[in-house]
Structure 1
């Protein structure tokens, strides 16, 4: 029990790390005697009860980690006395009540993590005073009201997570002022109104998740300026763009870590094709033209669910297009399920898994756009006696390792929602430099 800790006997103590143990019981009020304490980490234990107000006496604290316990009650206002605090982590507890507005006085904070509690009420406007804040995690609570426009003052913010709450109203235009932001997730709320065009100013953004809200209107063309964007998720809103009646394309800008635009003719490593909703019709038309309306001349493979075509785009890039066979209307009616399956596919990211660039759902065509692998499948080699003889044990060992890595990733990915029913040689393909890649096409079943 933490109550047995000799707080009174250690007045000079400056650093306490008791994390990742099995400490239980309450945090005793005697902890306030450690007036010289700078670092206190009690995370990942079994501590329960309320956070004692005496913790506000530790005015020299710069780091306070109480996360992943069973603490309940409200966040004590006494914490607002910790003016030197830089890290405050209270996530994954059972805290309730509102977020104290006086936390806005802790202007040295660069990490504030309150996610996965039962906090209610609105997000205090005073949070906008935390000018040094780099990461703000308020997700998975019961927060209501609107997103305060004052968050636009947090110019150093790189991560803003407010998802899985009950927030309403519009997305503030001021969010577009967060030039350092690379991860913005407002998903699963009740946000309404249009997507602000100012989000197009987020030049460093890589992840933009706004799905499962009530957003309406069109998608602003300014989002096309987001050259760093890797994952854009806007599904399950009320956007009146060409989605189900026309073209559905998710934005996947796979690129090198080097900032700047994606070059068109080189697809080595991660510098790959960018497909966006803004040129969706153009991309659809280009793929149709590149395959001569999916002529069999360009077909490089066929399976139970469809055919795979090689498409050489005007940019010089080559992609593999998996076009599904026409399905009865009732099988294609559940577009929500289709989007959920695509979302799971996009979460599978591994060096030995073939990359999915985008997808299209059209009244005439439904297809996936994949990385093109020029050397064919493993089955092609194994079924050719001459090629199989040259396929020595070193290469076979490499195949086994690569296959194991890829299969493990797929089996364990996407919060265990993805299960591969069978593994076959034709599901493994070769890159130009003979790296084995696992192909996820239609061999999927999803948990419900």
Structure 2
């Protein structure tokens, strides 16, 4: 039925299973594209029967096995894509491929061996992708055809020096040799064709200086030499073509980032109007950059950090209208921050930290849509302008500002990293900080902040790192901190804090150095006393939310009046009895009274304390609330929220009520239980995984929100 079919395009679906051998019966097929699926198994040899096939694309699947030699029968084949599979074996089959082949893609498989000399028989080959392989010495590429325009041999284990024979590839436009083990000088690139547009030699072991012959590559737009052992001045790049858009010399010993480059930035860069990205950070570049750059209308990214550059930022900033990131930290830049920076309208990241800048922060920076702003470790003075402090998209802000900034920052709703350490802040932490709902890291250490820690910090559910150390903060740590389940690192040392630490992982596992030198902290952490021993003869009264403490006298004195005899006892358990209690205010509670006989006194006390430890840290809409507790040698109680419809068992055993609980309500109930269990298993720290879970424990609220009882 499909014998006349000429083209099959089934790429980018979710196809699974094997490629059928019967596909070899489609004798008129010219194009077969099955890429970007989940096909498995081997490539059927029957594909070799498709004598009219010109394009075969099986890339990005889960194919295994060897590449069948029958592909050599496809004499009309011009494009073969087998990338991103798990094919194995040598690539000797290449010698049998059609001489009309133009594109060969074999990257990201598990092929082995050396590049066969027979590859040179593919006289029309234009694009060759053999990355992510183990193809031995690079000398094996000497036989490549002169028609190649793209050669990608990156991520291999190629060894040796860059062969001069690459100069024979007169049509080559893109050469990728990164992530290999190539060594020696790069002088052989003098032979490369002038038509080359991309040269990537990064992540090798190349040595020597950058040759002036790079200037012969008049069409070069992207040059990557990072992560080698190149050294010396980078003055040789003065000859680079004006068409260069990307220059990456990092991690060498040059004057480009992570190298050992020395000397000034070449003046030739000033005239490079097509420059798109410039990364020269972490070198030893020196010289005055006041006049180092000219008109760069498409420059998008510039990083000159951690060098020895000096001078002022007196560039014509309105001509940098495409610049999104400017990083010049760790230099010796002086003068004031130019107000004209506000004219670089696309700027989102500005890092001028660790320089010698003076004066104030220009309000014109408020015109930008900054995400990151770092001006710390300079000699700036004055307040941060209101327009800058109100940047709504700001995500990262460095330190060295006046105290007024803390209140203003409440409008920076997208702030993620806030480091205000080592300033001279006084007074209390402003409540506005609780508005920073995206905050992940907050550092207010080494200031002179006083007063209580505001409970609003407990609202920062994304917070992972909190440092309040080396201040004058006092009082107790707010109970709202128990909600900071994302917190992984905390430091409150060298303050005047007292009372229990929050029962969350970050505090329990904090080193003693992170909680030391306070007034009287207690709790389950290294170096602290247990709160029971510390608080025995002391009551702590602080502002803010707290648990209700029911006194023994008042509870025992009115217990008989609180319990409604007709339905007082809900359930008896191994540790106690649960009562329904009505207060004089008509509030209805569940009261769990623990058995307290001499034989089980120690066991009951341990059970009571264990339950309190767990419940004190739980906050979830599907788990009943603990209102208070009472601990006494003769009587111990827990006071819970009362759930009016009782247990699930009671409802399901009542035929009339069971009928009213339709499937929608039961589904909502199951979802509520799942949410509660997920919270206990994944959001509590440590996870609560050992509980008695039976149908009596399922309590029903009037809206059928599932709650887990005791």
TM-score by structure 2 length?
A: 0.40
Change (3 A) 1:126 1:275: closer
Distance verdict in 2 for CA 1:217–1:282, change over 3 Å = closer
Q: Where do 1:56-95 residues align within 5 Å?
A: 56-95=72-111
Residue 232 (structure 1) aligned with residue 232 (structure 2): no
Aligned mates of 1:271, 1:168 — CA distance in 2: 29
Deviation at 1:360, TM superposition (A): 11
Matched, 1:29 2:34: no
Contact 2:57–2:81 at 8 Å: present in 1 too?
yes
Count of aligned positions: 334
Match 1:162 to one of 169, 177, 183: 177
* Residue 192 of structure 2 is aligned to residue 177 of structure 1: yes
Task: Give CA deviations for 1:140-186 in whole Å, capped at 9, x if unaligned.
Answer: 01111222211122233222111101112322434553222222111
- The answer to whether the aligner puts 1:201 opposite 2:216 as a matched pair is yes
List runs of 5+ in structure 2 lacking aligned partners: 1-16, 293-310, 333-344, 371-382, 397-413, 420-441, 443-463, 465-710
**Cα distance, 1:29 vs structure 2:** 2.0
User: Is the Cα–Cα contact under 8 Å of residues 126 and 149 in structure 2 kept in the other structure?
Assistant: yes
DSSP-derived class of the 1:124 partner: helix
Q: Equivalent residue for 2:29?
A: 13
Q: Larger radius of gyration, structure 1 or 2?
A: 2
Residue 194 of structure 2 aligns to a residue whose secondary structure is coil
Q: Is the partner of 2:104 in helix, strand or coil?
A: strand
**Cα deviation, residue 122, structure 1:** 2.5
| Partner residue in 2 for 1:294 | none
Q: How does 1:389-404 map to 2 (within 5 A)?
A: 403=393
Match of 1:311 in 2: 313
Please tell me whether the aligned partners of residues 173 and 198 of structure 1 are also in contact (alpha carbons under 8 angstroms). Answer: no
Change in 2 beyond 3 A, CA 1:158/1:39: same
Structure 2: how far apart are the matches of 1:245 and 1:67? 38
Displacement of 1:378 in angstroms is 6.8
Counterpart for residue 228 of structure 2: 213
- Per the alignment, in what secondary structure is the counterpart of residue 102 of structure 1? helix
C-alpha contact (below 8 Å) 2:186/2:206 kept by paired residues: yes
1:108 aligned onto 2:103: no
Aligned pairs (5 A) from 1:13-412: 13-127=29-143, 129-175=144-190, 177-219=192-234, 221-239=236-254, 261-262=271-272, 283-284=288-289, 286=291, 311-313=313-315, 352-354=346-348, 376=367, 383=386, 403=393
RMSD (CA atoms): 4.9
Alignment partners' CA distance in 1, 2:130 and 2:36:
19
Distance 1:51 1:281 in 2: 55
| 3-state SS in 1 of match to 2:417 | coil
Q: CA deviation at 1:70?
A: 0.7
Distance (Å, rounded) in 1 between the aligned partners of 2:223 and 2:80? 29
Q: Determine helix, strand or coil for the equivalent of 1:311.
A: coil
Q: Secondary structure at the match of 1:133?
A: coil
Once the two structures are TM-superposed, the CA of residue 9 in structure 1 deviates from its matched residue by 1.7
Residue range with higher mean Cα deviation, 88-97 or 191-200 = 191-200
User: Residue 11 of structure 1: CA displacement?
Assistant: 2.2
Which SS does the other structure have where 1:6 is aligned?
helix
Cα distance between partner residues in 1 of 2:348 and 2:238:
27
3-state DSSP of counterpart to 1:142: coil
Is 1:4 the counterpart of 2:6? The answer is no
Aligned equivalents of 1:360, 1:160: Cα separation in 2: 37
8 A Cα contact 1:230 1:253, kept in partner: no
Q: Deviations over 1:284-319 (max 9, x none)?
A: 3658xxxxxxxxxxxxxxxxxxxxx97334999689
TM-superposed CA distance for 1:8, in Å, is: 3.8
Unaligned runs of 5+ in 1: 255-260, 264-269, 288-308, 328-350, 389-398, 408-418, 425-442
3-state SS, counterpart of residue 120 of structure 1 = coil
> Quick one: structure 1 residues 420 and 123, their matched pair in 2 at CA, closer, same or farther if it must change by over 3 Å?
farther
Partners of 1:231 and 1:253 within 8 A in 2: no
